[in-house]
């Protein structure tokens, strides 16, 4: 390629060869690479859910979102097949434009059964590393994390399970993952502690921390993993099946077996001849709460019998509301019969009249 440049006193001729073009292109791509660092991500699966579609409806064209319906409920363990299916449904152009948004909203929650013992969490980079790459890790969520101990938590699981570990839900062997030189993938173990408590699913939130050097965090740097409990649901039962009550404060107590790791709520229903706010009232609501790691829960019942003749009776039947109990099921005694004894001495006719009307 020839060209010339005229100046005031002389004419300069220049020539650009094919080799020069190659050199320029190489320099251009090297320049671009300075702004495109290798990216580190956590390995995760992908699934399109109703939530995914609702979220993307506000951001993406209608025809693109509509095409995702056929993928709903299908789980993809890795990214490649998910992207291939996207390209089939929405075309190559739309995939290149929208795949990152779709992938981010389709990240699947991880699950691990409590009895499994260990979960290997994968981590990857999109280019081979020239030297060992250290990746800091952070852990959050409502699952209780124990000590960091590489000898106790290995890729094969816990090497021992002592009583002091029972207060935790999981432990880790490290807080720094390492991708070895020349590699693109690695993993680190999370050891799940199997206890005897019934518990609701607990979340472990894993996050890649700040990276140093010529690498950066990718789009998938946070992953939620839920520990699935394997214990049977506990049962609840009244301690007393039948009793007499007099004027004053009485407790209605329910026990739980075995002890639970979550709060248990037992709403109560009433029947019988006793009338609420006339013969009895609950001081702090009519739901028994059993807090985690305790055996019993109680509500206070105030018996009001000022205008009822001495030895006249009312019946208060207290029953557990089976359909509304949370984190437990009905056990042995779900119905308690309370006979309320009157307290009014027969000095006038007011209490006697009420007694005669109702009986």
Q: Return the domain boundaries, the chain.
A: 110-228, 235-358
**pLDDT tens-place string over residues 170-182:** 999 999 999 999 9
The model's confidence at residue 21, banded by pLDDT at 50, 70 and 90, is low
What's the pLDDT at 54?
92
Residue 234 pLDDT: 94
- Poorest-confidence range of 6-20, 65-79, 112-126, 282-296? 6-20
Q: Is-same-fold flag (110-228; 235-358)? A: yes
Q: Tens digits of per-residue pLDDT, 312-339? A: 788 999 999 999 999 999 998 999 999 9
Q: What is the pLDDT of residue 168?
A: 92
Q: What is the pTM of this model?
A: 0.71
Mean pLDDT of the region 193-205: 90
Return the CATH superfamily for domain 110-228: CalX-beta domain (2.60.40.2030)
CA geometry: angle at 229 spanning 41 and 190, to 5°? 35
Residue 132 to residue 248: CA distance in whole angstroms: 73
| The dihedral formed by the CA atoms of 102, 103, 106 and 111, expressed in degrees to the nearest 10 | 180
Q: Is the pLDDT of residue 311 over 70?
A: no
Residue 13 has what pLDDT?
A: 47
Question: For residue 20, what pLDDT is reported?
Answer: 59
pLDDT tens digit string along 70-123? 899 999 988 899 999 999 999 999 999 999 999 999 999 888 888 888 999 999
**Is pLDDT above 70 for 31?**
no
Query: Of 165, 166, 135, whose CA–CA distance to 149 is shortest?
Result: 165
Look at residue 294 in the predicted model and tell me its pLDDT.
94
Burial class (CB in 10 A: 0-12, 13-18, 19+), 319: middle
Query: Mean pLDDT across the stretch 28-53?
Result: 79
pLDDT of 359 over the 70 cut: no
Q: Does the pLDDT at position 27 exceed 50?
A: yes
CB burial of 74-100 (b: ≥16 within 10 Å; e: otherwise) equals eebeebeebbebbeebbeeebbeebbe
Backbone angles phi and psi of 299, in degrees to 5 = -125, 150
Instruction: Match domain 235-358 to its CATH number in 1.10.3720.10, 2.60.40.2030, 3.40.50.300, 1.10.150.120.
Output: 2.60.40.2030
Question: How do beta strands 75-76 and 46-47 pair?
Answer: antiparallel
**CA–CA distance, 39 with 127 (Å, rounded to integer):** 8
Q: Which residue has the higher pLDDT, 157 or 312?
A: 157
């Amino acid at each position: 390629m020839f060209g010339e440049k005229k100046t005031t006193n002389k004419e300069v001729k220049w020539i650009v060869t094919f080799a020069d073009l190659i050199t320029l292109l190489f320099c251009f791509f090297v320049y671009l690479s300075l702004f495109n660092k290798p990216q580190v991500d956590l390995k995760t699966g992908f699934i399109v859910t109703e939530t995914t579609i609702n979220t993307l409806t506000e951001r993406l064209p209608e025809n693109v979102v509509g095409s995702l319906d056929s993928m709903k409920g299908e789980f993809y363990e890795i990214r490649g097949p998910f992207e291939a299916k996207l390209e089939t449904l929405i075309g190559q152009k739309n995939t290149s434009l929208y795949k990152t948004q779709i992938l981010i909203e389709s990240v699947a929650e991880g699950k691990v059964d409590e009895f499994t013992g260990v979960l290997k969490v994968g981590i990857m980079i999109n280019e081979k590393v020239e030297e060992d790459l250290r990746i800091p890790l952070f852990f959050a969520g409502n699952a209780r994390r124990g000590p960091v101990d590489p000898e106790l938590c290995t890729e094969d699981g816990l090497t021992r399970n002592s009583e002091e570990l029972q207060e935790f839900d999981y432990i880790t062997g490290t807080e720094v993952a390492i991708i070895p030189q020349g590699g693109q993938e690695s993993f680190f173990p999370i050891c799940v502690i199997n206890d005897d408590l019934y518990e609701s699913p607990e979340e472990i939130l894993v996050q890649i921390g700040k990276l140093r050097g010529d690498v950066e965090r990718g789009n998938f740097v946070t992953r939620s993993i839920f520990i699935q409990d394997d214990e049977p649901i506990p049962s609840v039962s009244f301690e007393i099946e039948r009793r007499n009550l007099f004027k004053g404060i009485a407790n209605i107590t329910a026990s739980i077996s075995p002890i639970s790791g979550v709060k248990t709520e037992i709403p109560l229903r009433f029947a019988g001849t006793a009338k609420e706010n006339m013969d009895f009232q609950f001081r702090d609501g009519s739901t028994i709460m059993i807090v985690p790691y305790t055996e019993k829960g109680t509500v206070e019942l105030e018996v009001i019998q000022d205008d009822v003749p001495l030895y006249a009776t009312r019946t208060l039947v207290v029953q557990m509301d089976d359909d509304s109990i949370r984190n437990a099921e009905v056990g042995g005694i779900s119905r308690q019969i309370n006979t309320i004894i009157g307290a009014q001495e027969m000095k006038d006719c007011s209490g006697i009249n009420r007694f005669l009307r109702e009986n």
